Structure 1
């Protein structure tokens, strides 16, 4: 029995390897796959036939001949199914419907006025149902859902704490799985953002990167050797609470001088509030004034950029990353932050450490977290490529 079990496991692993090879290097022939992964041609051909039958892979016609018969090229079927990614933010939630390669098919932004878990869950359910309507035809339908949360999420997908939402010990998975199935993934929004930028954005070619989610607070997702670093309790990345000013402003965590009190979107809005007499400014208001050359606003953005550089220098000195990606709302002000940020980083970081570190703003804009969250159920689904079309249709 054990031998049979081992053979089935090996076959499953090999099928996943073949599928991932096609996804990453398409278009490929069967011979190309055999050469890349080292499996014999007969085994590859058998596994490819099963992937074609399950509609995860399709043949697209002949490729270039190397002397004999032209090989048939294979493509991953990105429309075999879809996933939904949800980014729960402090003022709204962003939800995207994507194909199996992360291309956005539909998206929706919904304002949040009541942050209580029940109300937010109702809005998530409503938004997911809305995206699932008029779903493009596919053999697998929606394969799963990923959700990014601005707070601490443990290894069991339990939201332990989300201070900006006022949440403690909220079980989103239990609340959503009864209606939407078991392939639901909950993660910290910065972790999801790091995955999104690694797969689809600025970090595609980087193995070691830090994604900074800078909005009301500052969080980070840290990728080392291509994999997300989660820490011993799944809570890594709270870089917004490193102390950068010993007697600085009081932070919501109870400490003083946390990085996010000086360099976040909230810090910018709080300081800009003194410049607006009739209303509390939004980031969009600030950017509009900056574009029009308002010297006070430009000076304020320069100060925020400089404070951002202080924290970046600490990260460069400690982790020596290949790439730092700045995302979430504050990235919209990137053009006005960049010069002061990089100048401070250059002055405060060790020269050997910063020499090969590149700092960039998110290529996915404010979609990084939603797209990263959507990738989680896709990855889980494709790790089980033995599912049949009939089984998927019954469960979609």
Structure 2
């Protein structure tokens, strides 16, 4: 019995070492391509025979390809290896309260296709029908490739458990929705469902304004407000996955009642919801996109529209102060649709944050608007999808914390 156990352990250990070497080789190629086999051996410390065997497997799997020759260091010019980012594709979906945005990316996050639709009502069946339509259209864009669609990521404005179940999305009127199972049954591929602010934070860290920072607060401002946290270079989800529901922190004790059941929630005063009263004053039709219409009016010099955005900026500053004082981040990034109104919101926001935060919290703090604007969440969940495909071959570039 013991002999069999030893043989089983030895086989398992050999399997683990082999796959660990393969992961290391692929990671090195992704980070440094084009790169030769000899350079991989130098960078990883693996012997040339091990590198060669792992490269053969990766070539057979079409995750890498050869191109060359490269520069010679005094002998035969080496064949260079590159990561095949076109070996497969992922789909990233951002479900907002008044829109659905879908993107198709390759395995490095380059956008290869895009589709979006407005949402005029949040009826579940209506949203699912439009969601299917967008995904089907993106699938039709996929070029011929070894792995085709490797996964679908979906960001939703609500509380999502670590198992991908949507427990509550108050601005959509959703409660206890298992979107993951529904999508996997239809598309027969891995599906990741994530809070859209977490996805946005990840998108900014990997592709956007937060690339060079390890402590980031991402504030997603649309019809509601969500907050994603990157702390110590890790996405922080909390014990059960519900961290970041700061759009529902109280900033007005005797304030308006929110759809979540609380009163005086931050998102009632600093999101697109707060534009409604201003738009009504200006006689803007409810059938129009209020944010875009208000931006057009502000560009034309409308004082009511400009004042509306300035007030939103001040209220955003109030909430950001609380977050900064709690987490002491290096960077705060404001994203999603409201980032289009940066021109009028930025100065009031910065003034409020500077005047009201603790003076020592201001040292080295950066407050930026997203470079990705409306695409942060879609890119974030697309990255979750293709990293999930690669994770058996390459360690995650941004480890995920569950505590």
Would the TM-score normalized by the shorter structure come out above 0.5? yes
Aligned to 2:170: 163
Normalised TM-score (structure 2): 0.90
Worse-superposed segment, 248-257 or 155-164: 248-257
Aligned to 2:276: 270
Question: Aligned partners of 1:72, 1:355: CA distance in 2, in Å?
Answer: 49
Residue 151 (str. 1) matches residue 158 (str. 2): yes
Match of 2:70 among 45, 55, 63: 63
Aligned to 2:383: 375
Aligned to 1:138: 145
Residue 297 (str. 1) matches residue 287 (str. 2): no
Aligned to 1:218: 225
Question: Aligned partners of 1:33, 1:348: CA distance in 2, in Å?
Answer: 52
Number of aligned residue pairs: 385
Are 2:113 and 2:141, in contact at CA under 8 Å, matched by a contact in 1?
no
- SS class of match (2:281): coil
Aligned to 2:324: 316
Are 2:325 and 2:361, in contact at CA under 8 Å, matched by a contact in 1?
yes
Aligned to 1:336: 344
Q: What is the CA-CA distance between 1:229 and the residue it aligns to?
A: 0.4
Are 2:62 and 2:84, in contact at CA under 8 Å, matched by a contact in 1?
yes
Normalised TM-score (structure 1): 0.92
User: Any stretches of 5+ residues in structure 1 without a counterpart?
Assistant: 387-396
- SS class of match (1:102): coil
Question: Aligned partners of 2:92, 2:59: CA distance in 1, in Å?
Answer: 27
Give 4+ residue runs of structure 1 displaced > 4 Å after superposition: none
- SS class of match (1:75): strand
Are 1:151 and 1:163, in contact at CA under 8 Å, matched by a contact in 2?
yes
> 1:107-118 counterparts in 2 under 5 A?
107-118=114-125
- Provide the aligned C-alpha RMSD in A: 1.9
Residue 306 (str. 1) matches residue 282 (str. 2): no
Q: What is the CA-CA distance between 1:57 and the residue it aligns to?
A: 0.8
CA deviation digits over 1:334-366, x for unaligned, max 9? 121111111111111223222112111111120
> 1:38-53 counterparts in 2 under 5 A?
38-53=45-60
Worse-superposed segment, 143-152 or 57-66: 57-66
Question: Aligned partners of 2:104, 2:59: CA distance in 1, in Å?
Answer: 24
Question: Aligned partners of 1:346, 1:42: CA distance in 2, in Å?
Answer: 59
Q: Residues 110 and 274 from structure 1, CA distance in 2 versus in 1: closer, same or farther, beyond 3 angstroms?
A: closer
Aligned to 1:129: 136
